[in-house]
Structure 1
Amino acid sequence: MKQQTFSNLQTHWKFRYCHGGTLRKSSKGRGARPLSSKDPIHLVFKVNKSAVTKGLRSARSFSLLNILLKKYARKFFVRIEQFSIQSDHIHILIRGGKRSAVQSFLRVVAGQFSQCLTDTFTRRHEGEKVWKHRPFTRVVKGFRPYIVVRDYIQLNELEALGRPYSKTRLRGLSEEQLRELWA
C-alpha cells in the first residue's frame, strides 16, 4: 500500500528530469529516477568532508577515482563524455545504453568510490557516511543545455586546477572567455 502512494507523486515540471541530491529531502525528488538512453546525463556525487579527510583531489583518491570510473564505464557500456573531480564533489557527463546498465553503473560506482575512500573492503565502516546525499542526476534535454553543462563541468575542472572562483562565472561567458576555457 505504501509503495503505491509513492508512485502517484506528481513532481514539479522543473524537476521532472532531475533526481537525488537535496531534492530527495522534499517530495520533488521522490519519484523514479529519470534516465535516458539517448540524452546525456549530468551526474553529481557529493561527499561528506568529515568522512573523507584529505578530499577527492589528493593524489591517491584522484587516481583511484579515475581508474574506477573508466573500469565501470567499460563494464556497463556507459560513455563518459566529461568529468571533473573537485575536493568535495564529482561532476560526470555520461551517455548510457540500457536503463538497467546506467542504474547498475550508478550503484556500483557509488559503492566502489565509498569503499576505496574509506578503505573498507574487508571491515565495516564505523565513521560517518561517505556520501552527503544520494547521487544527483539530471537528463540534459536539448543542445543548448548540453553546451551549458559541458562548459560548467570544464569551468569546475579549471577551478580545481587553480583558476580563481567568481560568483558571476555562470552568467554567460563571452566568446573570448569560452575560447580561454577550452584552450
Structure 2
Amino acid sequence: MMKQSKQQTFSGFKVHWKHRHCHGGILRKSSKGRGARPLSSKDPLHIVFKVNKTAVKKGLRQPRNFSLMNSLLKKYSWKFGVKIEQFSVQTDHVHLLVRGKRIQLQSFFRVVAGQFAQVLTDTFSRKHEGDKVWMYRPFSRVIKGYKAYRIVRDYVRLNEREALGRPYSKTRLRGLSLEQLQELWV
C-alpha cells in the first residue's frame, strides 16, 4: 500500500461552494475556511489583513504604522514580484488587490505580516509578551470575472475614501449610484 503525501490530504476537505474561492479570516473558525488556500496566477486576489486592536493601540492609520505598512508593501511586492493594483489601509485592517504567482503570493503574505509584527513589537531585540498583532490569518478571495473585479476594486477605493474622511453609510454595500461611483474615481 502506497503512503499518501501530506499535500494530498488537504484535498479531502469539503468546502461549501460559496467559499470555494475564499480562505482565512473568520472562515478559519468554521470548517468552511480550512481547506487549502485557493490562489490563482491569472486572476486577481483580494486580501484582508485584520489587526488586533488591543495590540496596536492607535491603529494602522497612525503615521508611524501607516508609513511602516506602506514601505513594507512596496518593498516586498517588488521583491516577490507581486503587483499591487490597489490597497487601502484602515485603522484596523488592510485591503489589497494583488496579482502574482502562487509561491510568490504565499511568501508575500508571510513576510509582510511577519515583518510588520516584528517591527511593531520590536521582537528583534527582545521577546514579545503581549497580544498577537494579527487577529486572524489573512483573508483571501480569488476574483473570478470582470464584474466581481469591478465590485472589489470599487470597494477597496470606497474604503480608502472613508479612511480619508468620506462619510460612512450602512447601505454602501448594496450598491452605489453612477454618480457615487464617479465621485470615487475623481
Q: Is the pair's TM-score, using the shorter chain for normalization, greater than 0.5?
A: yes
Matched, 1:100 2:79: no
In the alignment, structure 2 segments of 5+ residues that lack a partner are none
Q: 1:172 to 1:66 in 2, by over 3 A?
A: same
Letter of the 1:153 counterpart: V
2-side partners of 1:81 and 1:119: how far apart? Answer: 30
- Cα-Cα RMSD: 1.5
Which among 173, 177, 185 is matched to residue 174 of structure 1? 177
Which among 25, 28, 35 is matched to residue 32 of structure 2? 28
2-side partners of 1:22 and 1:8: how far apart? Answer: 21
Letter of the 2:131 counterpart: E
Letter of the 2:172 counterpart: R
Aligned sequence identity (%) = 73
Which among 90, 93, 103 is matched to residue 94 of structure 2? 90
State the secondary structure of the residue aligned to 2:87.
Answer: strand
In the alignment, structure 1 segments of 5+ residues that lack a partner are none
What TM-score do you get using the length of structure 1 for normalisation? 0.95
State the secondary structure of the residue aligned to 1:92.
Answer: strand
**Aligned residue pairs, count:** 182
1-side partners of 2:175 and 2:156: how far apart? Answer: 14
User: Where does 1:33-72 land on structure 2 (aligned, <5 Å)?
Assistant: 33-72=37-76
2-side partners of 1:60 and 1:119: how far apart? Answer: 14
Q: 1:163 to 1:29 in 2, by over 3 A?
A: same
2-side partners of 1:38 and 1:171: how far apart? Answer: 28
Moved over 4 A (4+): 1-6
Q: 1:24 to 1:114 in 2, by over 3 A?
A: same
